[in-house]
Amino acid sequence: MRLRELKKHLLDRAKSLELKNLEVALIIERATNLSKEEQILKAEDEIDEKSTELAISLLKRRLMGEPSAYILNEKEFWGLSFYVDENVLIPRPDTETLVETALLKAKELENPKILDLCTGSGAIATALSYEMKTQVSFSDISEKAIEIARKNYIKNTGFKPISRIGDLFEPWKDKIFDLIVSNPPYLTEEWIEIASPEVKKEPREALLGGEGDGLGIIRRIIKEAPSHLKENGYLLLEADYRQIGLCVRLFEKEGFRDIGIKKDLAGLERVVYGRRS
């Protein structure tokens, strides 16, 4: 099949999902190794059967609701490129608000030791480390996530990763930090139920916060963080805008001060932070 024909075939099949030309071009790039520019120049080239079949099977996965980022094994975050697959949550633009806020706070501190909990693909730890030009520690309960996070961290920062596998602070028993940041699972069962097909393909373990209101894991982080923070150290969390008010009260209850909120690009409250007294 000629490339031009392959492209038409894929675009026809993709119509139901209103996939954009760009998405189809990326699928073709993945299957044939031809860049978008080359695809235009080589439209009349013959494409071998293996690549043609691969492109069709990738498109099928997309039509079944699998996110493009998993099909292409790539997602951009903070201008950096991250490997992703079905073992990790796909980094969201909203989370750049958490990175921005963490950077502002980290710059107030001298040589801060930073920890990213529930790191997933390693997006937050990598972006902070890249900007601060210093190592950032990270952990996750999922061994597969840590493997991916380490790869992403090394590729983008060149630093040796300081990573551990385990449940929240459990692997950091002996450690104390200046700044702890996390985008932990915080969705409720109901929110996942009504989410897009793409979200349903993401690891449930990375989405579901627990305890009915989705704040199960966040409650544990806020309660346990003070014993892993230096005095005046910061805790910063991402949550859903419907949870931020409750998070503020939890921060207050645990004795945090200078508590603040940041809105995401959509104007929704997304980040909550405070300082250990």
What residue ranges bind ligand GLN (CB under 6 A)? Answer: 92, 94, 183-187, 199, 207
| Residue 50 burial (10 A CB sphere; 0-12, 13-18, 19+) | exposed
Minimum gap (Å) between residue 160 Cβ and ligand GLN:
27
Minimum gap (Å) between residue 108 Cβ and ligand GLN:
26
Minimum gap (Å) between residue 82 Cβ and ligand GLN:
15
**How far is the C-alpha of 251 from the C-alpha of 259, rounded, in Å?**
7
Nearer to ligand GLN, 161 or 210 (CB): 210
Nearer to ligand GLN, 159 or 191 (CB): 191
CB atoms within 10 A of CB 172: 18
Minimum gap (Å) between residue 277 Cβ and ligand GLN:
27
Minimum gap (Å) between residue 94 Cβ and ligand GLN:
6
Minimum gap (Å) between residue 74 Cβ and ligand GLN:
19
DSSP string covering 234-273 = EEEEE--TTTHHHHHHHHHHTT-EEEEEEE-TTS-EEEEE
CB atoms within 10 A of CB 164: 15
Nearer to ligand GLN, 54 or 199 (CB): 199
Strands in 162-165's sheet, in edge-to-edge order, are 162-165, 137-140, 114-117, 177-182, 229-238, 269-275, 257-263
**How far is the C-alpha of 236 from the C-alpha of 274, rounded, in Å?**
7
Nearer to ligand GLN, 2 or 92 (CB): 92
CB atoms within 10 A of CB 182: 26
Nearer to ligand GLN, 53 or 86 (CB): 86
Minimum gap (Å) between residue 93 Cβ and ligand GLN:
10
User: In sequence order, what are the residues at sequence separation of 6 or more whose Cβ sits closer than 8 angstroms to the Cβ of residue 219?
Assistant: 211, 250
**How far is the C-alpha of 80 from the C-alpha of 247, rounded, in Å?**
30
Nearer to ligand GLN, 41 or 268 (CB): 268
User: What is the separation of C-alpha 192 from the centre of its chain, rounded to a whole number of angstroms?
Assistant: 17
Nearer to ligand GLN, 1 or 192 (CB): 192
